[in-house]
Chains A and B, each alone.
Chain A
């Protein structure tokens, strides 16, 4: 820092603007603060403040007679949610559904994405990507109710001669797998696009069979994309409550418990406490997959 690297004040026209840039140049911290203010404000207001409000609400109670939130501190809700076997059962069921949906989507999405990215002709590629996106243009509710009809007694499934699971946990997995599938296909498709064809040719030139190429060349490159897809399907399923109500029959998920406590029982504090479970689960999941570089693929 012995040599003064400041540019000479060559343009006398706009002194104030120049003074500002000179100031920002000299004061690194000020520059950093200026850059970070907007995103940090966004993060704090929208995310951290909302989460904190949720946490604080979970520490309040509801007056049992009037149903109004009373702002006295208590850990009762958190204790109840973590120790009551009912909430453990529901949390585990929700987790199981989320994992199943993720696995089903992964198994379906891999060949579809592979076909679009590597097999289909360039002209068809665009058409197929639009076809994948198209269900996203329809309302979530319409899709869920469509499944209600498909799965109903004497519905489309039975009409086709397939044994319908009826309104059940299996029905929830089927409907959610359908609804979230595009969110799995798109990142995997993007991942396949990034695998250069020359790499596949080189692999086969070196004598690898297709399966070996898939296992040793494609999959390692693809893992971050697959994980990016699983974050979508997993997190979206954890928070879902609509499909469970429409095709779930008697199935309760964390989302339906939150919904029942906010909309029906008027117990916002307990709902907040329950809502913290999926947040904790998804944060743990993000921490685990952080190292794979999947987050860069979102």
Chain B
């Protein structure tokens, strides 16, 4: 009896707390409208800089000389504009979306699998490209794409792009692979040493493979999969999982695996191959015959940013040929501006990365957020969206 009595006040307090929390949690229903971007307007002009700028970007995109004294394009920006840069790197697109949602960042380098989510969530605002001088020089095939333009409204300035290529240890994988088959149907040959990118977006890699080898499925865009097509991709990835030694999300960790031989074949970014080769690992990369997924980044401006003038100045700075050349060379990607190819230290850089090679670029399916409205134009079916891909990814990894 005494026990019950002493527990009673605590119980009351708990209930009160629960009720209080519940009261906060009423539904507002404002996030229901799917697919359309919130009404936001772009700047009409660029004024004086506000003195500071916080940047959210992939590691390697914002260098101020602290990592390597020779690599610095932030100091010149700070001197020219007076906007002091505060840089925060992110590791995955999903992390970028979460961080951007906090409203603390003025600009972000969003890949295609993040940009649509940011636009739909009202986290980024339209960009008036007329105010960005360097915009004109950018490759036309990067402009007005699915991941940076919605309903004809432009949401940012294209940055570099690259493919998710196939990397292999040349001393251990013979003959040299030319097809994604070696990580799917033939994964057995390197069982336990296959690696794959640890993100739901990797499902698109399986879809690219199926598109070439299983035409009956009718996949025409790896980011527009109906339920049956997704199931086929999931089956393929589940079969692959038996032979996967490790999924990677951190490119440095992946490079280490290749260096030690724990992984011998799998998907990578060119920057990973560059690091591995610089470390002396005998790795090679290839763009397989089926084509590949890839990424194309867009510099976007936060809707809640208080430093929009500095933000526009940054967009202009990063897309200018001199800076674009430096970033592309340091990061290991194709520059977005043809003029940058003349300015790289390694004269063959643009050749290595197939910059401006439209045929090469046309083999790349740039990361795009999967949404319910099929982006391949089908209207008779509903496509699977990113949350379904995420659930499927958990299931694949088992």
Contact = CB atoms under 8 A, between A and B. Distances in A.
Interface of A: 40, 43-44, 48-49, 52-53, 56, 60, 62-68, 70-73, 84, 86, 89-90, 148, 152-155, 166-167, 246, 249-250, 252, 257, 260-267
A252 B200 CA distance: 14
Contacts of B253: 246
Interface string B78-111: 0000000000000010110110010000000000
Contacts, number: 128
Nearest to A250: B244
B190 interface: no
A72 B199 contact: no
7 contacts: A43-B10, A53-B21, A56-B18, A56-B21, A60-B25, A65-B34, A86-B394
A89 B32 contact: no
B95 A264 contact: yes
B244 A66 contact: no
A65 B398 contact: no
A44 B13 CA distance: 8
Given A48-B17, A66-B117, A250-B246, 9 more contacts: A44-B13, A62-B387, A64-B387, A65-B35, A70-B31, A72-B27, A250-B397, A263-B95, A263-B98
Highest count of chain A CB atoms <10 Å: which of B13, B120, B262:
B262
Interface residues of B, number: 53
Interface of B: 9-10, 13-14, 17-18, 21-22, 25-29, 31-32, 34-35, 92, 94-95, 97-98, 101, 117, 120-122, 192, 199-200, 241, 244-247, 253, 256-257, 260-262, 371-372, 385-388, 390, 393-395, 397-398
A156 to B, nearest CB: 11
Highest count of chain B CB atoms <10 Å: which of A40, A48, A64, A155:
A64
A264 B10 contact: no
A155 B257 CA distance: 11
Contacts of B35: 65
A40 B95 CA distance: 36
Highest count of chain B CB atoms <10 Å: which of A53, A66, A86, A246:
A66
Contacts of B13: 40, 44, 48
Nearest to A43: B10
Contact of A67 (B17, B97, B200, B395): B97
A177 B117 CA distance: 41
Contacts of B21: 49, 52-53, 56
Given A44-B14, A153-B260, A266-B94, A250 B390 contact: no
B247 A250 contact: yes
A70 B33 CA distance: 12
Contacts of A152: 256-257, 260, 262
B10 A72 contact: no
A165 to B, nearest CB: 11
A154 B260 contact: yes
